[in-house]
Amino acid sequence: MSSPLSNNALHWQRTTNDLGAIISIARVNPIPILSWAGFAIFLQYTPTIITGILTPPLTQEQHDQHSLKVQAQARFLNSPN
């Protein structure tokens, strides 16, 4: 029966082997690694990008109401209370 320590050591060895394989591939041609890193970053922000694209722009009335609210908040925060 194996102890938890040996399981952790085995996991660490597998992780370092995987990282070593990735680094050795990156030495030959770093473009695939960089493209996957860029793709992972893109996937991280995709929900925000889609929401921004699909959200309709504010009407002039909504913009004016928002501006008035922001100005009122700024006055409140800057008041000498």
Residue 63's pLDDT band, with cuts at 50, 70 and 90, is very high
pTM above 0.85, yes or no: no
Domain boundaries, the chain: 4-78
* CA angle at 31 for the pair 51 and 16, rounded to the nearest 5°: 95
pLDDT tens readout for residues 14-46: 667 777 777 777 777 778 878 888 899 999 988
Q: Which pLDDT does position 65 carry in this prediction? A: 94
Average per-residue pLDDT for the chain: 81
Number of helices (H), then strands (E), belonging to the chain: the values are 3, 0
